[in-house]
Amino acid sequence: MSGRAILPGSNASGQQTTLGVMGGGQLGRMFVQAAQRMGYFTAVLDPDPASPAGLVSHYHVQADYLDEQGLAQMMQRCAAITTEFENVPSGAMLTLGAHRPVTPAAAALRIAQDRIQEKAHFSACGVTCAPYAVVSNAQQLAAAADTLLPGILKTARLGYDGKGQIRVADRAALAAAWAQLQCVPCVLEQELALELECSVIVARGWDGAMVNFPVQRNLHRAGILARTEVLEGNLPATLAQQAIQAARSIAEGLEYVGVLCVEFFVVAGALLVNEMAPRPHNSGHYTLDACDQSQFDLQVRTLAGLPLVEPRQHSPAVMFNLLGDLWHAGRGPAPDWSALLALPGTHLHLYGKLSARPGRKMGHLTVTAATVQQLRATAAQAAALLGLPLP
């Protein structure tokens, strides 16, 4: 992309400038809303006629991600195109990138889509991973070190939110798990005693400029993010700085353009990288309410080549994921939003999904406050109303 930014409003021919996104889920929806607030038109490519992003976008190209006519429509309508999830085929981004600026680039997306390549990139950047072994064939399965057991066998591709992962206690369980996963390429990671989990979101522009949000402390249940806290003292300052530097190094090594989330484990006081997401991330949703710029604002800025300004968090925050389980917990058709919204500093975001299923991300609730003490008190009340446990 040249140094010339793609500005909002009408272009030289009088047409409204349009930004595109591949994928129509909630992340695409929030990108679309951020772009529209800045004055852009938006286009979404997604095969689902009721996709959350498609329902709010100016244009919805209802097509498969590799459909030639669909990709041609996106190129015709859009000045630049991004993606809202990492499993968009990298070939689609390669095709689009030959004609329009795209973020992230297909090469970065390919690495993020494969745990084996991803871990190799982390090591090349000098960032330490949890102990692991590649399991792509029977010989590598047999050669995996006993020190990695008990462990977690993860498919190299298409795994997220705990999918494609099986805990294994011994070699017999490992062999059975690999067979259950249909003997596809995997990584075997040593199961570790986690002290905590955290993540860092960075945004890097076409010119190499980079900014980041504060480190986010996360809690997962059944492999799905349950809660994120971003407040003073949520983890030691030295670890926080190490996480920020590691995330920046990973983005630089990829020559990445766009918004990138890097997730970490803390084990015995040491920081270990887990994985990266080449897009805005669930753990960054609090930025919509607690920061002067959200992760989606930065996604728009990086795509369009607009200036990047370091975001400022103005309020401590706790974010709760709202899964479809809440609609199936005997409370009636939905949680009591009225009671939740009666609490000070609560911000409800529902994603426009038409059916609730257990484990499906239906929305999130962010709590903000002037002080950490007030925040914790209100967050505890909100968790009680939702029936969600607090540690």
State pLDDT tens for residues 299-334: 999 999 999 999 999 999 999 999 999 987 655 567
Mean pLDDT of 243-268: 97
Task: Give the whole-angstrom CA distance, residue 33 versus residue 53.
Answer: 9
Residue 129: is its pLDDT beyond 60? yes
pLDDT tens digits for range 70-110: 999 999 999 999 999 888 998 999 999 999 999 999 999 99
User: What are residue 167's phi and psi, to 5 degrees?
Assistant: -75, 135
CA distance 306 to 16: 17
Give 15-37 pLDDT, tens digit per residue: 789 999 999 999 999 999 999 99
Tens of pLDDT, residue by residue over 206-220, are: 999 999 999 999 999
CA distances from 204 to 8, 233, 302 (A): 20, 26, 7
pTM of the entire structure?
Answer: 0.94
Query: Options 3.30.470.20, 3.40.1350.10, 1.10.3430.10, 3.40.50.1820; which CATH number does 196-386 get?
Result: 3.30.470.20
What pLDDT, on the 0 to 100 scale, is given for residue 13? 64
Confidence of residue 348 (pLDDT cuts 50, 70, 90): very high
In the block, which residue shows the tokens 């190094």? 249
CB atoms within 10 A of CB 356: 17
Strand 216-221 to 270-277 pairing: unpaired
**How far is the CA of 380 from the CAs of 71, 115, 340, 374, 384, in angstroms?**
46, 36, 11, 10, 6
Q: Interhelix angle for 295-304 vs 26-37, to 10°?
A: 70
Question: What sign for the dihedral angle of Cα 360, 165, 278, 136?
Answer: negative
Strand ranges (E), 28-131: 41-45, 59-61, 80-83, 102-103
Which of the four CATH numbers 3.40.47.10, 3.40.50.1360, 3.40.50.20, 3.40.50.1110 does domain 18-103 have?
Answer: 3.40.50.20
- Say if domain 131-190 classifies as CATH 3.30.1490.20: yes
pLDDT at 161 over 60: no
Phi/psi-derived region of residue 214, left when phi > 0, alpha when psi is between -120 and 50, beta in every other case = beta
Domains in the chain: boundaries: 18-103, 131-190, 196-386
Write down the mean pLDDT value for the chain.
93
> Does residue 144 carry a pLDDT above 60?
yes
Judged by average pLDDT, the poorest of 11-15, 166-170, 173-177 is 11-15
